[in-house]
Amino acid sequence: MKLTQAEYQQRRDHLAAEMGANSIAIIATSPEVMRNNDADYKFRADSSFYYLTGFAEPEAVAVIETSADGEDYTYSLFCRERNREMEIWTGYRAGIDGAVDDYDADEAYAIDLLDEEIIEKLLGKEKLFYRMGAKPEFDTRVNTWLKKTEQMHQRKGVTVPARVIQLNRILDEMRLFKSEAEIEMMQIASDISAKAHTRAMQTVHPGMMEYALEAELNYIFGQNGCVPSYNSIVGGGENGCILHYVENNKVLKDGDLVLIDAACEYDCYASDITRTFPINGKFSPEQKALYNVILDAQIAAIDVVRVGQSYKEPHNVAVKIMVQGLLDLGIMQGNLDEIIESERYRQFYMHGTGHWLGLDVHDVGDYKIDEEWRNYEVGMVVTVEPGLYIAPDDENVESRWRGIGIRIEDDVLVTEHGPRVLTKNVVKTVAEIEELMANSQAQNLIKN
Ligand code: GLY
Ligand code: MN
Ligand code: MN
């Protein structure tokens, strides 16, 4: 499935309307990044550029110019020209004709002409919308253009942009609210990611390497034409306590849990899932007790992802349940309110409970308005990901709890009927996980 060109056009219409008359917006895609000599990282378009254009090739810049009365606008796409020889080396290019015919550009130019043509486009405009600070090399070019046009203004009196406005003020707010079609894309990404986690539960066994389990996830992503939306975390035992553990190069041990934070993107729309489960298929009493505290917290936190609730409410709900759980299990001592007030719980829960999700895994959009947490509205997608991490060397905690790291993460869409969990297709209760794993272990025994 792909978004329609009409949807991209609606977004440009919306942006142009917000820009107002006599304005210009410049949006560049990401630069290509070298991994090591002659080997690039696989190219991934800039999310905001892709959001407006659907154009996935490198070396491209979109320009939106609104008319003097603000009633109309022109969309120009600067891109690589078709070139038979280069295409043999680096693949198909839409070229100038493709930019117009397939991507609905009003005007298309060779990317090599950008420095020349952009000056023409800047002349006569009053405002420039550009995301300054995100791409240092491109910022330098924009500054050069502004310097040049400013000189023309001083010498010849022509109108040039006197104001540069952060483009993300408009675009990020647009991206925060997902359309029906975007939700479908995110549902597909979530379903594939859920399948990958299910396969991980079905294939894990003591003695397996963390990277081999990561390969099981990648198999499902790859079979569906997807790539991970961020570096996969596959942490066995105490590695689950390292929040951004990505080495994934240790042995998975009998009796330990494994924490997997991994998901894919589908046509650039991300999913973000964490599951934690026993490597041998059966939770120990301590693992189960702690797991259920986090699961209760997560389910309660998801339930407050509702229109009108504060962005922060899932965090508040999750913290309260987890602190009470830590007190009940004897892992913490003291008074519930005092622990929350002083944030002493951060010894075991040191990250937030979620973030916006969309074209970026940590998606754009303001979390606060006028310094207050904003409220949930229909069409927002947020992750809900509480966890507890008992450091392996924490001598203030009984040894039986040490080295247990658990997080449970789902992706939640705000609807007018309440929270919709996009990632519900991968099990998360102790009973469901143990049953799934027992069934697959039995199947593996039959096969062997
Ligand atoms: N996978 C990144 C995160 O959960 O924020
Ligand atoms: Mn997340
Ligand atoms: Mn995650």
The DSSP-derived string for 260-274 is EE--EEETTEE---E
CA–CA gap between residue 130 and residue 132 (Å, rounded): 6
Q: Rounded distance, CA 284 to CA 305, Å?
A: 31
Residue where a domain stops, chosen among 140, 174, 208: 174
What's the one-letter identity of residue 19?
M
Tally of structural domains, the chain: 2
Residue 409 reports pLDDT greater than 90: yes
- pLDDT tens per residue across span 299-315: 999 999 999 999 999 99
Lookup result for tokens 């000599």? 37
Does residue 245 share a domain with residue 161? no
Do 96 and 218 belong to one domain?
no
275, 408: one domain: yes
Q: Rounding to the nearest 10 degrees, give the CA dihedral for residues 308, 314, 317, 321.
A: 160
Q: Are residues 184 and 107 in the same domain?
A: no
Strand partners, 228: 264
Q: Could you tell me if 321 and 339 are in contact, meaning their C-beta atoms sit under 8 angstroms apart?
A: no
User: In the chain, helix, strand, coil percent, each to 5?
Assistant: 40, 20, 40
Mark whether 32 is an active-site residue. no
CATH code of the domain covering residue 299? 3.90.230.10
246 CB under 6 A from ligand 1?
A: no
Give ∠ CA 260-266-269 in degrees, rounded to 5: 90
Instruction: Identify whether residues 91 and 128 lie together within a single domain.
Output: yes
Indicate which atom in ligand 1 lies nearest the CA of residue 383.
Answer: 4
Ligand 1 atom with the smallest distance to the CA of 362 is 5
- pLDDT per residue as tens digits for the range 83-93: 999 999 989 99
Same domain membership, residue 155 and residue 224:
no
**End of a domain among 123, 146, 174?**
174
Do 145 and 220 share a domain, yes or no?
no
**Final residue belonging to a domain, choices 155, 174, 193:** 174
* pLDDT score, position 90: 87
pLDDT score of 186 more than 70 = yes
Q: What angle do CA 384, 388, 391 make, to 5 degrees?
A: 145
Q: What is the pLDDT of residues 369-399, one digit of tens each?
A: 999 999 999 999 999 999 999 999 999 999 9
pLDDT above 90 covers what percent of the chain? 95
pLDDT band per the 50, 70, 90 thresholds, residue 442: confident
Looking at the chain, the whole-number percentage of residues with pLDDT higher than 70 is 99
Those residues whose C-beta lies under 8 Å from the C-beta of residue 320, and which sit 6 or more positions away, are 336, 340
Is residue 256 classed exposed, middle or buried when 0-12, 13-18 and 19+ CB atoms within 10 A define those classes? buried
Q: Are residues 229 and 249 in the same domain?
A: yes
Q: Residue with the nearest Cα to atom 5 of ligand 1?
A: 362
Please say whether the beta carbons of 192 and 265 come within 8 A: no
Question: Separation of 380 CA from ligand 3 center, angstroms?
Answer: 17
Q: What is the CATH number of the domain that holds 90?
A: 3.40.350.10
Ligand 3 centre from 323 Cα, in Å? 22
Q: Using DSSP bridges, classify how beta strands 381-384 and 107-110 pair: parallel, antiparallel or unpaired.
A: unpaired
**How far apart are the C-alpha atoms of 199 and 217, rounded to whole Å?**
7
Radius of gyration of the chain (CA): 25
Q: Strands (DSSP E) along 113-182, which ranges?
A: 127-130, 163-166
Give dist(CA 111, CA 49) in Å, integer. 15
Give me the half-sphere count of Cα atoms (radius 13 Å) on the Cβ side of residue 312. 9
Alpha carbon nearest to ligand 1 atom 4, residue: 272
Whether 262 and 129 share a structural domain:
no
Determine which one of 210, 261, 363, 411 is catalytic. 261
**CB atoms < 10 A from the CB of 238, how many?**
20
Same domain, 147 and 240: no
Question: Binning pLDDT at 50, 70 and 90, where does residue 441 land?
Answer: confident
CA 426 to chain centre: 19
Q: Are residues 249 and 163 both part of a single domain? A: no
Active site residue 199: no
What gap in Å lies between CA 324 and CA 81, rounded to an integer? 62
- Kindly state whether residues 163 and 222 are assigned to the same domain: no
Residue 448: band (very low, low, confident or very high) from pLDDT cuts 50, 70, 90? low
Residues 305 and 300: their CA atoms lie apart, in Å, by: 9
Confirm if 78 and 114 have CB atoms less than 8 A apart: yes
Q: Pocket of ligand 1, candidates 362, 367, 408: which has the most ligand atoms within 8 Å of its Cβ, to mutate?
A: 362
Residue 119: other Cβ atoms inside 10 A = 15
Q: Which of 163, 244, 346, 400 is flagged as catalytic?
A: 244
The rounded Cα 311 to chain-centroid distance in angstroms is 17
Closest residue by Cα to residue 291 from 430, 137, 99, 95: 430
C-alpha dihedral (294, 295, 301, 303), degrees to nearest 10: -170
Query: Domain range holding 432?
Result: 177-447
pLDDT of residue 131: 97
